[in-house]
Amino acid sequence: MLHLSHSRGIVEKTTIAAASPTPLAGAAAGRLLFENSLSILNRTGAWHIAKDLCQEFVPEHARVRYWRLGAFAPEGLARKIAARLMMLEISWLKDSRHFLIGGKTADHDTKVFLDPLFVLRSELTEKDIVLCHDVGPLSHSFLYDAVTVANYRIAYEKIRRQRPGIVFVSDWSKDKFVSLYGLNFRFLTTIPLYVRTGLFDGPLEPLSGIDGRFFLTVGAFETRKNQIAALEAYRDCRFREQGVQYVLCGPRGDGREKIFDLAKSIPGVVMPGYVPDSQLRWLYAHAEAFVLPSLLEGFGMPALEAAYMGLLPIVSEGSALVEAVDGVCLQVPPKDVAAIGQAMRNALSRSSAEKAKTSRELREVASRASKERFLQRWRSLLQAR
């Protein structure tokens, strides 16, 4: 399957209420609790979402909790030590009733869990809310270690029993969840994520070693991002002989050694590692296309960031990446190297007029995915629930 599609997403529509300075209805001061243990462990995109939610609602409308540290958010070495202890506790006690955080007093709070894993060490009731980015440890368990899979299975089973409200970041993630656990929950709703526009504010700095046209991939070097297939497509299509390079940048992740070994063997591949924002902006602004045939994405933020810069995404068919850009992309089967290569050829062969038209459409899609809209949908949800 290879096409440039413009399908409309099926994101659930949520009424957007005007921002109110008064406390949230039904959530008196001290009775809405954001469970943000996620921020002790995770400093990826999910961490930014958790931080923005807490900044919006805490302390005016809610309290926040970081594992057993209360409202104290550890940083530096203290955070790393707390993360290790927290994960040891989860692995040892799982959903045991012993030593739950908050104990019975937590029953009086409406808790918003910013990741499903952390329901394990807390009371969980039907009135609570769980934010779910994806069900990858269950739907794509081959991408995770056995301990992570086991812990999430137990966490989701606890969620199934207690039937809280669940917020998803994409309909793709919601559909995967429903296929596993059905519809018997207080509510299931989608609040799509947003572009962090601050990333694109500031000067542009060229990346050294780039001397012409190039493809771009941004994301952690890990198995689920499927850089191996994209690299093989670049190699097999002999793009370097056409004067086209391939830039891959991002942090190190699980499976990076295999990716690095393949990349080093292919002429024309540039791997600068983690680049500063000024260089990232330049790469987005000058690339021919954004390539990410990922095996698993809960929302598709990388594709949406490319869309914000008007850069054509080449992404996995039927995935959250497609949903994130409202179908304005080239879709490919993620395991079909030949199809990925053909999409890259198609991106290169576009006329100036075609590029300009697609760029406008992508920027329009990204403009609708604002932080303000995201927070207003959360405010409406918390007021209504």
How does pLDDT run across 72-83, given as a tens digit for each residue? 999 999 999 999
Alpha carbon separation from 311 to 28, 46, 110, 268, 274 (Å, rounded): 45, 23, 41, 21, 20
What is the C-alpha separation between 165 and 184, in angstroms, rounded?
Answer: 10
Contact 137, 148 (CB under 8 A): yes
Of the pLDDT bands very low, low, confident and very high (cuts 50, 70, 90), residue 385 is: low
Contact 314, 343 (CB under 8 A): yes
What is the C-alpha separation between 218 and 58, in angstroms, rounded?
Answer: 32
**Lowest mean pLDDT, pick from 175-179, 182-186, 205-209, 338-342:** 205-209
Q: Which pLDDT score, from 0 to 100, does residue 105 have?
A: 56
Contact 226, 334 (CB under 8 A): yes
For the segment 132-138, the average pLDDT, to the nearest whole number, is: 94
Output the six-digit token pair for 281.
Answer: 């902006």
Cα–Cα nearest to 120, from 157, 155, 149: 155
Indicate if the pLDDT at residue 313 is higher than 80. Answer: yes
Q: Which pLDDT score, from 0 to 100, does residue 251 have?
A: 85
**Lowest mean pLDDT, pick from 56-70, 155-169, 233-247, 248-262:** 248-262
For the segment 148-155, the average pLDDT, to the nearest whole number, is: 96
Indicate if the pLDDT at residue 21 is higher than 60. Answer: no
Peptide bond preceding 267: is omega within 30 degrees of 0, i.e. cis? no
Indicate if the pLDDT at residue 204 is higher than 70. Answer: yes
Cβ within 8 Å of residue 10, ≥6 positions away:
171, 323
H helix or E strand, kind and range, residue 166: strand 165-168
**Lowest mean pLDDT, pick from 15-29, 67-81, 95-109, 277-291:** 15-29
Indicate if the pLDDT at residue 170 is higher than 60. Answer: yes
Of the pLDDT bands very low, low, confident and very high (cuts 50, 70, 90), residue 63 is: very high
- Angle at the Cα of 300 from the Cα atoms of 296 and 306, rounded to 5 degrees: 130
For the segment 30-54, the average pLDDT, to the nearest whole number, is: 88
pLDDT tens column, 106-134: 557 899 999 999 999 999 999 999 999 99
Based on DSSP, count helices (H) and strands (E) in the chain, helices before strands: 14, 13
Output the six-digit token pair for 95.
Answer: 């959903």
Q: Which pLDDT score, from 0 to 100, does residue 141 have?
A: 93
Q: Which pLDDT score, from 0 to 100, does residue 220 have?
A: 87
- Which is more confident, 118 or 6? 118
CA dihedral 91, 96, 97, 99 (to 10 degrees): -30
* Amino acid present at 271: M
Q: Which pLDDT score, from 0 to 100, does residue 175 have?
A: 96
Buried b (16+ CB within 10 A) or exposed e, 213-237: ebbbbbbbbbbbbbbbbbbbbbbeb
Of the pLDDT bands very low, low, confident and very high (cuts 50, 70, 90), residue 291 is: very high
Q: What percent of the chain has pLDDT over 90?
A: 78
CA dihedral 99, 105, 106, 109 (to 10 degrees): -170
**Lowest mean pLDDT, pick from 8-12, 121-125, 172-176, 371-375:** 8-12
